Structure 1
């Protein structure tokens, strides 16, 4: 058979890893000068810039005068850019981050020429099952990747990949890797030996007579003698056609109708490592990233939509700047945490910068909205960031007052009940420097309160007021080991946490514990020590607590303390010399079935893994979780891969530790639903759900781990920062035992609470009132049913853009306001709609004029 051998020239450009992004920027300048010079001299050559448009920005940052030259080469098709902005992880980050990464990547590429509309993700640690549909919303009908494939998926490496909703795109697994043909030899014997090995693999896996040869590697310079190599290859394979190519040309040779169908996630680790436990590496960075993503997508963007209605200009450039800072931290190595200490420090600082921008923009919007109420300085604004009505929701407010107690009132003057979460006394001069500058001594109370709001229309505001009053009433601390509401009873007995579910009458004994075990792994993978010693808080911990009860809310504020090994050596010696403490709160609300959990912890141990353990007693072979804008059902145990991985010589054990986005649900005759905020790594074993809090370890890479034989991933350099010594972490989740199928919607509501803000007398920065800012009137209230909101924002021309999805098994119908248009993921109008039917797991985009 005559083979069609296609050689693709590229570089894989990790912006950071065990080197920093600033080092690679300098290197990229030299690289691009070399590439452009070669392409100008050899205009028949095609070169791929790793599928990420950020390389344009990084290069032009240091050589802006080269923009016309670069643009000419992109417009001519010699250099191919996009569709990504950065080569993102495809399991760990927020689903909206995936959409925005492609949006900004394609947008930037369009400014220089035609983007490469191929889902190129060469080195990502696995691929989510919703990616086919996400790609297709951008006009991308293929993906080309390396990690995640095995013969359990298909016999050939060219296939049709069917996503969770049924969308099919062409998938091409790089059977010899993106680096398989790096630095090809020109010496005939060496080249023959090299090519024969490559062709043997490609002849076995390719589904057509085409063979894709990837000539590139990490930061690899363009191979200037490629023409000599091709001339020698033509001598080796005189019957074959050999040419330089691009991805689109290779894809055009495949017969779509003849390809096998592959379904679900691409996370098998036969040919390339997936690093299934990277979801708990550097949890300080991951939790910070989650906080920024949540505040950006769930709060700032919809708040800014409301703000535009009030006369506050939409902060397009702030949002883009924050998004690109996020994308810079979302590359598989970056968000994975598998970097040198210097790089992780840089990533964390960039995320801190992004957080400061998001938080400040949110506060600025809220502050301006309160100033729009010119009738009273004692103003509180409450915002619903979802485009649907919400009833009986709790809003958390931070109040700064000169009196310990205060009253809250709604628009009609009716007094509102609130629950005090915490309160401390402060010097007002530390908040507002003008107080200190005027030598005033003013003490204020900073109080966190929870207020129940009876109803809110979609994307609307309500204005409350407050009054400072004397004669403070102390929060009652009740000596009790029980809190309860209409749904259940939470209690502590024998230093263990138990829950009684009223509807079923079932008591979940020792429901919630913390597990400490050893970690002999590295930044890529948790690895159990050869001799582990697992310690469970239920067996050894002491729990001290106090109970705060109110007619609307009850809380157990607790401290959980137990002794564990300080490091790997102590664990081997079975010595537990170090006391660890988790403080936190378990809270119940009157009309809410969820138990809200917060734990705070400052780490003082090394070489350890900590997990929350929920002893549900539910025996099941499947777990329901959310992926990107979807629901999916996963096995709790990877039976087939685990049965063959050693005999089939997989490069890494396919451990049954998986990734969720924000919830998991277990069901037999009972049901358990867990909602998390940033905790994404889970395992289900024998009726227990384990959720990793964090892990600590000593090196970027290690060789011969228990579950990962052979070479180290990355390089073997010490990374002492990964021990997270004296790092403070906060973990939040909620759970219930309700019989429900709407967990995805519940998770969205959990992560998108009402937002409230008090107009304060003391501020770090002064603002002038803006006469053009008025109270935001009106609302956008859609009858969404079980449809879930992913995004609410304005397009670049200030039209309302909403992204929705249907996580249910059944079709959902949606009636739409006047002047609503179906849109694509590039936020461009398509057809006009009055109503729409949304299929199971389908994503839709709407523009509402």
Structure 2
């Protein structure tokens, strides 16, 4: 007997906080929607429920205008009429860090907890592809189902969906499995999240509406439960849904139409599922499509936003939080409230239309302000915590005279680390209260900068360089007195701090000396840099040859720049099919030595490159006619402009490869700039850093792919290797790359200039041209074997993380001059975070296993009373005991250890 079909209608509105309108203008409409919704619940009991788009920030946005409505909101949430969470924001999955994805879920669940109910659905309605570890993250948070609109089935312009011959699942229901084997029920919005929008109440119109909609849903449904999403982007509430469903039930007595919610719908679907469903493994990236609407090129729209995001994420999760734990272990307060504020402010920039750079200019101007707020907050936390720790260190124990200057170098990377430290040091300062300010500068400049020796805590001399920076203004802001201005004589000290503790600090000391310990060079000739790991030879065109001294492998013609037109938009890259890319291969560069010492040496490479100034007038006409990007044919103008580029290639004494910083003065429009790294490695796949995963991807697309480009997302690095050797390109906020041709060239996008938003209308975005100064930073890491087997991934992760070095004085204290607060060992494991739990003072340390082999983890902290295994939402899932050694971390597992420091 065939079961009666049941149509689940879920009222919702997909709420992009900012997109084609800036945040405040969108919020104006959100307040109207919420006011209408609350009135509807109060006056019409038959209007059952509303799904608040899976993000709790909408509650904050509404209550900032209507604070007196909080109790009313809470009432309807607890009655399960308004369904909230589990996320704080609907963030882009690939462009936000692993920890940002975790915090988004943690803070969303904590916000929902205040209201008494949460919708336990992994809600990804319009996410531009989803990382492969999402099922594991959801399972660890107690969430067993996910809904999504993209990544499995073609989704095109204006959110239209179409069929592909071999799209991944025949059903809208599927098993979605992470690399570690965790799986959740996946529910694809096969007909988009608006397939039940604006349901007619008029019987004639309703009959036609439902005839088509029932056919569309049944085409994909694996059960008799049919899902209809009653809403769309910024859709006002359909207030007459009860009447519309009454009409539908009268017209179709063989179908039960109900005003539903995701909890009820998923529960009923799970009970009716067939024995076998298609299993989709790993990333949802639309590989079995024509490739024109994957939206991957949002990874290179407004790169400056991605770079600011990388800085803020890194400062919070890899510096401010660990430093705060260090200070807490020494007795200082953990700044939980400030970290919450910083994370939430940062995540306001993480929705897909925000961090993807695919909104109008007003939106991204506000984002820059938010990023600055986050960076300023993180830096204040870092500085305060570093000073608190330094004040407790017994710098007097080394037995140096009062004039010695201690420098405390912190390592928060989670790995033992060699770092080149560059620190401005005040060698003498005079306060305005001690001498009239007009006399201080001359007084300080009269004095010679003494020779200094740099020693470690065992009084071993450390090679260093000293540069006189002259006299500079400064001020103190004491906790118990008015501000205190001064002038200080300053020097810049550069030295290599080696084998820093994994999670701790080491103290160095500047003392006066009669000797000069700054000799030596990494410059082997006028064009060659060399250390124990690599040799870098600069060529006339500014490219460079890299020799890996460990494997003997040589990589030639690295660092050539490629430029093409871009007649796409913020979402999508497009160049005319007939266009041949321009390169710097035959452009002579000016090459000069910028720095030379035994600690680090660098070349500056200058290019003045004439490129087309913009596209021709035909492009404006195509945009105004809303010509879809694959069908555009506009070409570049004949007028040129100079693209001035400065490339600084730096090699440090203990670095696995050179670091590169590019500064570009961009005066051209409608173009894309990439840097090329030919590897000549014979392989059909490569590896990329993603969310809690070093993911393997094919070099070539599936047969359905028609887009000439095959661009991808990355987090910290992309890597190509064979069994003998490989090349990894680490980056800071450069999230787009492509693997090209027979030479297996890694092409990393460092600038993309476009002129319009590119969805459902014409929205000019002149600031997306990124005119003026832009920059890019990357590191080139050769290695033996794969990026994981060689440990090169740790160097790539460390490249992201800045040092924190604090100057202090000689004083007594309770802390030693060198300390490792937490040490750990785990072959091929990657450190992710160390923080205090959100609702208790336990310390949480998180790792993930990027390899396909089991790994044993051991953790030690003298402050720990007992250890336990936690899930990602900081719940104990297994006791470990007083020792944490030999813990089995399965392949691709995200593994969190908590430990208590108080009874």
The equivalences for 1:278-427 within 5 A come to 278-373=298-393, 375=396, 378-387=405-414, 390=416, 392-401=418-427, 403=449, 406-418=452-464, 425=469, 427=471
- Of 837, 843, 849 in structure 2, the residue corresponding to residue 800 of structure 1 is 843
Corresponding residue number in structure 2 for 1:5: 7
Distance in 2, matches of 1:416 and 1:465, equals: 10
- Of 501, 523, 542 in structure 2, the residue corresponding to residue 457 of structure 1 is 501
RMSD: 2.9
Q: Equivalent residue of 2:658, what SS?
A: strand
Distance in 2, matches of 1:791 and 1:115, equals: 26
Listed as ranges, the gaps of 5+ residues in structure 1 are 646-652, 702-712, 762-768
Change (3 A) 1:675 1:730: closer
Per the TM alignment, residue 183 of structure 1 is displaced from its structure 2 partner at its CA by 1.5
Corresponding residue number in structure 2 for 1:622: 685
Corresponding residue number in structure 2 for 1:765: none
- Of 61, 66, 74 in structure 2, the residue corresponding to residue 63 of structure 1 is 66
Residue pair 1:560, 1:582 contacting (<8 A) in 2 also: yes
Distance in 2, matches of 1:419 and 1:19, equals: 52
Deviations 1:281-338 (A, max 9, x none): 0011110011100111111111111011223211111111111111110000000111
Listed as ranges, the gaps of 5+ residues in structure 2 are 154-165, 397-401, 429-448, 618-633
Per the TM alignment, residue 197 of structure 1 is displaced from its structure 2 partner at its CA by 2.2
Deviations 1:681-737 (A, max 9, x none): 110012211001120111112xxxxxxxxxxx2431211111111133242333224
Change (3 A) 1:541 1:483: same
Residue pair 1:160, 1:256 contacting (<8 A) in 2 also: no
Corresponding residue number in structure 1 for 2:852: 809
Range 282-291 or range 311-320, more displaced: 311-320
Per the TM alignment, residue 448 of structure 1 is displaced from its structure 2 partner at its CA by 5.8
Residue pair 1:400, 1:760 contacting (<8 A) in 2 also: no
Residue pair 1:480, 1:547 contacting (<8 A) in 2 also: no
Residue pair 2:453, 2:512 contacting (<8 A) in 1 also: yes
Tell me whether 1:658 sits opposite 2:712 in the alignment.
yes
Deviations 1:219-261 (A, max 9, x none): 2222111111101111222111111111122212232743211
Tell me whether 1:115 sits opposite 2:118 in the alignment.
yes
Change (3 A) 1:406 1:187: farther
Task: Compute the TM-score of the two structures, normalised by the length of structure 1.
Answer: 0.90
Tell me whether 1:735 sits opposite 2:781 in the alignment.
yes
Deviations 1:564-607 (A, max 9, x none): 22222499467463222322322233444322222222322211
Residue pair 2:474, 2:485 contacting (<8 A) in 1 also: no
Corresponding residue number in structure 2 for 1:153: 168
Change (3 A) 1:770 1:412: closer
Distance in 2, matches of 1:473 and 1:504, equals: 33
- Of 686, 700, 720 in structure 1, the residue corresponding to residue 766 of structure 2 is 720
- Of 631, 648, 657 in structure 2, the residue corresponding to residue 594 of structure 1 is 657
Distance in 1, matches of 2:474 and 2:485, equals: 12
Distance in 2, matches of 1:778 and 1:697, equals: 48
Per the TM alignment, residue 558 of structure 1 is displaced from its structure 2 partner at its CA by 2.8
Per the TM alignment, residue 530 of structure 1 is displaced from its structure 2 partner at its CA by 5.4
Corresponding residue number in structure 1 for 2:90: 87
Corresponding residue number in structure 1 for 2:492: 447
The equivalences for 1:316-715 within 5 A come to 316-373=336-393, 375=396, 378-387=405-414, 390=416, 392-401=418-427, 403=449, 406-418=452-464, 425=469, 427-429=471-473, 442=487, 444-445=489-490, 447=492, 449-453=494-498, 455-467=499-511, 480-495=526-541, 496-529=543-576, 531-546=578-593, 548-569=595-616, 572=635, 575=638, 577-642=640-705, 653=707, 655-668=709-722, 670-686=725-741, 687=743, 688-701=745-758, 713-715=759-761
Residue pair 1:163, 1:263 contacting (<8 A) in 2 also: yes
Residue pair 1:417, 1:452 contacting (<8 A) in 2 also: no
Range 562-571 or range 74-83, more displaced: 562-571
Q: Equivalent residue of 2:506, what SS?
A: strand
Corresponding residue number in structure 1 for 2:19: 17
Residue pair 2:725, 2:782 contacting (<8 A) in 1 also: no
Q: Equivalent residue of 1:826, what SS?
A: coil
Change (3 A) 1:393 1:494: closer
Corresponding residue number in structure 2 for 1:764: none
Distance in 1, matches of 2:490 and 2:519, equals: 15
Distance in 2, matches of 1:572 and 1:625, equals: 33
Residue pair 2:420, 2:494 contacting (<8 A) in 1 also: no
Per the TM alignment, residue 275 of structure 1 is displaced from its structure 2 partner at its CA by 0.5
Residue pair 2:222, 2:274 contacting (<8 A) in 1 also: no
Corresponding residue number in structure 2 for 1:822: 869
Task: Compute the TM-score of the two structures, normalised by the length of structure 2.
Answer: 0.85
Distance in 2, matches of 1:609 and 1:85, equals: 34
The equivalences for 1:111-260 within 5 A come to 111-150=114-153, 151-252=166-267, 253-254=269-270, 255=273, 257-260=275-278
Distance in 2, matches of 1:529 and 1:430, equals: 55
Corresponding residue number in structure 2 for 1:266: 284
Per the TM alignment, residue 129 of structure 1 is displaced from its structure 2 partner at its CA by 0.7
Change (3 A) 1:405 1:161: farther
Range 748-757 or range 234-243, more displaced: 748-757
Corresponding residue number in structure 1 for 2:442: none
Per the TM alignment, residue 774 of structure 1 is displaced from its structure 2 partner at its CA by 9.4
Corresponding residue number in structure 1 for 2:822: 780
Distance in 2, matches of 1:772 and 1:228, equals: 73
Deviations 1:152-188 (A, max 9, x none): 3111111000112221100011112111222212122
Q: Equivalent residue of 2:64, what SS?
A: helix
Residue pair 1:298, 1:751 contacting (<8 A) in 2 also: no
Change (3 A) 1:149 1:572: closer
Change (3 A) 1:654 1:174: farther
Change (3 A) 1:615 1:178: same
Distance in 2, matches of 1:774 and 1:189, equals: 82
Per the TM alignment, residue 750 of structure 1 is displaced from its structure 2 partner at its CA by 2.8
Corresponding residue number in structure 2 for 1:749: 798
Deviations 1:374-396 (A, max 9, x none): 646722111221456x2644444
Residue pair 1:557, 1:586 contacting (<8 A) in 2 also: yes
Q: Equivalent residue of 1:568, what SS?
A: coil
Change (3 A) 1:233 1:772: farther
Distance in 2, matches of 1:760 and 1:533, equals: 61
Q: Equivalent residue of 1:13, what SS?
A: coil
Change (3 A) 1:398 1:156: farther
Change (3 A) 1:547 1:218: closer
Deviations 1:632-660 (A, max 9, x none): 11001113231xx5xxxxxxx49411112
